[in-house]
Amino acid sequence: MDRRSFLNNMSAATVASITGAATLSEKADALEEAMAVELDKRIATPYFCHLDTTPEVIAGDTYYMHDDPRLPKMPEAPTLIDFFKLRFAPANHVLQSAQLAKIKGYDEKVVLACLLHDICVTNLIRTDHGYWCAQMIKPYVDEEISWAIQYHQALRFFPDTSVDYEYPEQYIRFFGADYKPEPYIVQAHKEAKKHRWYMTSRLITLNDLYSFEEGVVVDIDDFTDIIGRHFKQPKEGLGFDGSPVAHMWRSMIWPNNFL
Ligand SMILES: [Fe+2]
Ligand SMILES: [Fe+2]
């Protein structure tokens, strides 16, 4: 993180927490905490294909209804890897999660689930992301993978001591110590616990927690083989295969089209 720009752009609350600390060491702790929160925010900031959603109109154009010149042009039949390179990049969070799962030697299905578990968050939509991510990949992966991705959204909130999964400390910072998940999330956790694929979903949450590491760069090309074996790439390209989710992929190709 660029310390100078961080210090120049601190919020009033951050400044107050640092200046309000009594000792030098408490001030250092407050600063470190603020930087950690900022790093999480920076990595998880919702944006649609990295662009302002209200772009400047270009000369001779009333509204965008074409390729956005600020985005790399997509091939006519885009693959999942094209999306990673031309739309999702840097995609550090999912790449780091998948790499962690691979290093730990988990099944390739788990590695792919980790690679895809949050792809809609920074590129399409943030709210209810487990459900959205699961839906956009469902036609192309084994049902176990999309199921696991859907349920990871709920499982994150519930500890599982059998695999040393604890409630994420950062959620206390994000949502407050008294945050209670919505009833549908509680219900989803209950269902998932009884399901034969529970552990696949649980493994996503286990590889999720420690994956925000600054400076660790993972390449999507490291996953070419796993994607090739487990992701049914449509020959017409994602967005053009007439599947029920094709529009989601097209929305990432042309994120700023007017209608
Ligand atoms: Fe997630
Ligand atoms: Fe995640």
pLDDT attached to residue 45:
40
How far does residue 40's CA lie from ligand 2's centre (Å)? 11
Cα 130 to ligand 1 centroid, rounded to whole Å = 6
Number of the ligand closest to the Cα of 91: 2
Q: Average pLDDT over the chain, rounded to whole?
A: 85
Smallest-distance ligand from the CA of 44: 2
Q: How far is ligand 1, taken at its centre, from the CA of residue 89, in Å?
A: 17
pLDDT at site 100:
93
Segment 12-58, tens digit of pLDDT: 556 666 666 676 666 666 666 665 555 555 443 434 544 555 556 66
Ligand nearest to the CA of 210: 2
pTM of the model: 0.79
Residues 6+ apart with CB under 8 A from 234: 139, 140, 240, 241, 243
Tell which residue, 215, 213, 227, has the closest CA to residue 114. Answer: 227
pLDDT in tens, 135-150: 999 999 999 999 999 9
Q: pLDDT for 196-250, tens place per residue?
A: 999 999 999 999 865 566 777 899 999 999 999 999 999 999 999 999 999 999 9
Return the number of other C-beta atoms located less than 10 Å from residue 209's C-beta: 15
Show me where the domains of the chain are located.
Answer: 3-44, 80-253
3-state helix, strand and coil shares in percent for the chain, rounded to the nearest 5: 55, 0, 45
Question: Token digits for 194?
Answer: 């009884």
Of 218 and 9, the one with more pLDDT: 218
Ligand nearest to the Cα of 95, by number? 2
Measured in Å, residue 184 CA sits from the centre of ligand 2 at: 20
> Does 95 or 44 have the greater pLDDT score?
95
Going from the Cα of 207 to the center of ligand 2, the distance in angstroms, rounded, reads 8
Helical (H) or strand (E) element with 189: helix 183-193
CA 116 – ligand 1 centroid, Å:
10
Would you say how long the chain is, in residues? 259
Distances (CA, A) of 81 to 78, 217, 219, 228: 8, 16, 10, 10
What are the structure tokens assigned to 132, written together? 């959205």
Q: How far is the CA of 63 from the centre of ligand 2 (A)?
A: 35
Q: What is the pLDDT of residue 256?
A: 79
> Given the structure tokens 């991705």, which residue do they identify?
149
Separation of CA 133 and ligand 1 centre (Å):
9
CB 86 within 8 A of CB 68: no
3-state secondary structure of 110: helix
- Give the C-alpha separation, 241 to 248, whole Å: 12
**Cα 205 to ligand 1 centroid, rounded to whole Å:** 8
Q: Which CATH number fits domain 80-253: 1.10.10, 1.10.3210, 2.130.10, 1.10.3470?
A: 1.10.3210
Of the ligands numbered here, which is closest to the C-alpha atom of 101?
Answer: 2
Question: Separation of 127 CA from ligand 2 center, angstroms?
Answer: 13
User: Ligand 2 centre and the CA of 72: distance in Å?
Assistant: 25
Q: How far is the CA of 118 from the centre of ligand 2 (A)?
A: 5
Which ligand sits nearest to residue 149's alpha carbon? 1
